[in-house]
Amino acid sequence: MQIVNVLSHGPVDYMSIDHLQRYLHHEVAAQRMPDSLVVWESRATYTAGRRTEDQDIPDTHVPVIRMDRGGSVTYHGPGQLVVYPIVKVRPPKDVVAFVRNTELAVIDALGAYGLDSHQVEGRSGVWILEPGKQDRKICAIGIKFADDATMHGLALNVTTNLDEFMRVIPCGIQDAGVASLQSLGITTTLDAVATILIPHLARVYQQFLLRPSEELVFADADVLLEQMRSYRPDSQAATGTRWEPKLQRMAPAPTASLE
């Protein structure tokens, strides 16, 4: 499995990594490139899934990107470890099992910090459950299967500014909060968490892979970022676009005037 670690670049533009993941997905789906884990940190961005309504969008200077995933709007930003598994899966394709095993890998990794985290029936992600307190999500997970390969992934709050989540209802869940390792009193870095998490993810994904391989190979992220520049997706609608209100998206295009 190929590890594409972009953390050394610091927080990067969301659309740049979205372009990278779609390039890798195109290559992995065609079996021209090994299964990959993209590890990165985003600049402050809100992403809007297919269930997002105009009233869900925060009034903020932070960019809002419309994405081809399920769910509503959520936040990505500095201090959040994002991992995109881009792997070719064998039949039968079971996205629920893939998500559940991703959750288990995160739970095992957080256990290295002595943290007790959980799955919650009927809800994706990894949760902090404490008696008498609101359930809090520490890791959001959203996976998409396309052309027998996965895309999108997980976002684990390490030192994330949780105030940014207060502008929205994360993933459309109204009766829960958010947490980070920092808010739970754990001091660490994204690099340290990634070092622990990556082997757990690689291990649980083996059962789903069309081409299982336990070897971890660290790719040159800069080379791949350069290669992706020549990749043009089949449809612009599939690449992620800036959010526009629905009325604006539905309005007819302006006509040219001869005056």
pLDDT tens digit string along 220-251? 999 999 999 999 877 544 556 565 655 444 33
User: ω before 199 within 30° of 0 (cis)?
Assistant: no
State how far the Cα of 56 lies from the Cα of 51, in Å rounded to an integer. 10
What does the pLDDT look like over 3-52, one tens digit per residue?
A: 999 999 999 999 999 999 999 999 999 999 999 999 999 999 988 877 77
Q: Which residues contact 21 (CB under 8 A, 6 or more apart)?
A: 38, 84, 86, 151, 152
CA neighbor of 127 nearest in space, from 89, 173, 161 = 173
For 4, the enclosing helix (H) or strand (E) is strand 2-5
Specify the pairing of strand 64-66 against strand 241-242: antiparallel
CA neighbor of 34 nearest in space, from 191, 233, 214, 249 = 214
| pLDDT for the residue numbered 174 | 60
Q: What tokens appear for 88 in the block?
A: 């070719």
Q: What tokens appear for 100 in the block?
A: 């559940």
| pLDDT for the residue numbered 245 | 54
Residue type, 40: W
The average confidence (pLDDT) of the chain is 87
Are the CB atoms for 127 and 117 separated by under 8 Å?
Answer: yes
State how far the Cα of 181 lies from the Cα of 138, in Å rounded to an integer. 8
Residue type, 174: Q
Owner of token pair 């021209």? 32
Q: How many CB atoms lie within 10 A of CB 115?
A: 17
| pLDDT for the residue numbered 67 | 80
End-to-end CA distance of the chain: 60
Binding-site sequence positions for substrate: 69-76, 140-142, 153-155
Are the CB atoms for 147 and 183 separated by under 8 Å?
Answer: no
Q: Which residues contact 254 (CB under 8 A, 6 or more apart)?
A: none
State how far the Cα of 165 lies from the Cα of 186, in Å rounded to an integer. 20
Q: What tokens appear for 80 in the block?
A: 């959040």
Specify the pairing of strand 45-48 against strand 73-76: antiparallel
What does the pLDDT look like over 99-137, one tens digit per residue?
A: 999 999 999 999 999 999 999 998 889 999 999 899 999
Catalytic residues: 171
Across 204-223, average pLDDT: 97
The CATH code of domain 2-238 reads 3.30.930.10
Owner of token pair 């039968």? 92
Bridge partner list, 3: 37, 218
